A = this chain, B = another copy of it.
Amino acid sequence: MRLIRDRLAEEVVGFGRDQGKLELAKSLKAIHRGSGRIDEAAAGAELIVACTPVQQIAEVLCQAAKHALPTAILTDVGSTKRTLVEQMRQTPFAERFVGSHPLAGSDRSGVGSASASLFDGKLCLITPQLVEPTLVGNVSRFWEALGMRIVRLTPEGHDEAMAATSHLPHVVASILAASTPPAMLTLVGSGWLDSTRIAGGSPELWRQILEENQAPALRALKNFATISQDWIEALEASDFARVEQLLNAGKHIRDSVGNQHSSG
């Protein structure tokens, strides 16, 4: 909606299978028009942003690119980058692809949750691996115009970081929710609710993300399990000085971040 509000694009076209969602997006001024046909939606496009689950991104970009301007820049908003960059490398469009990952998630999804300020002050990670340098500037300026700050990473660096900061928290939230006896769910407080919030995300989407980022996610989870084992040993040994040390280590890291981008 910011694209239209701030007149950042001559025409914003939505592609999707659900006519109702396209109508809603139009009424919310998130798009000028929508189409269920990718050839029609992509015709004449200068910039294509794929917003599908990660395992469909490469295919959708290639389909759209065939119908867009031959100079069209291709990007995405996917949560993993290494395999996507490998896939795009095999296509005729490699030199026009810049991976993007705006860190502006929410537990809400769908166009009904859209907001013109969604990206304000948030980070957008870009992984400009295959592309012409001038096109990287174009993609950066696109996200900056939406209010984002740009960080450049390699696809591998991106995926390793996201394993620790995004994919592991999701898995841990899921385990924490699953480990709570159903009879005790009426007694949960704000701690449990905050710590498990992201476990409500789509299992199909997250299965794809973990499939794309299997090795880094597994490393992050094993690292987490090692510290869990330290905890178990300290509690079994009634070593509460060690327990307090472990609590201090977690607090030290948490306090160093604060809540400055807690809506991000």
Q: Chain A interface (Cβ within 8 Å of chain B)?
A: 103-106, 123, 125, 151, 161-162, 164-166, 168-182, 184-201, 203-204, 206-207, 210-211, 214, 217-218, 220-225, 227-229, 231-232, 235-236, 238, 240, 243-244, 246-251, 253-257, 259, 261-264
Residues of B within 8 A of A206 (CB): 247
Residues of B within 8 A of A197 (CB): 191, 194-195, 254, 259
Q: Which 5 A-B pairs have the closest CB atoms?
A: A174-B250, A203-B247, A207-B244, A199-B254, A177-B250
Q: Write the nearest CB–CB distance from A186 to chain B, whole angstroms.
A: 8
Interface of A is mostly: helix
Residues of B within 8 A of A103 (CB): 187, 189
Set B164, B189, B232: member contacting A222, Cβ < 8 A: B232
CB–CB B262/A201 < 8 A: no
CB–CB A190/B106 < 8 A: yes
Copies of this chain assembled into the complex:
2
Residues of B within 8 A of A176 (CB): 168-169, 172, 224, 250
The CA-CA distance from A184 to B235 in the complex, in Å, is 29
CB-nearest residue of chain B to A176: B172
Residues of B within 8 A of A151 (CB): 186-187
CB–CB B232/A221 < 8 A: yes
CB–CB A178/B253 < 8 A: yes
The CA-CA distance from A108 to B189 in the complex, in Å, is 15
Set B211, B228, B248, B264: member contacting A189, Cβ < 8 A: B264
Task: Known A-B contacts: A190-B262, A228-B228. Give 8 more (CB < 8 A).
Answer: A125-B187, A164-B181, A177-B250, A179-B224, A194-B262, A195-B195, A201-B251, A207-B243
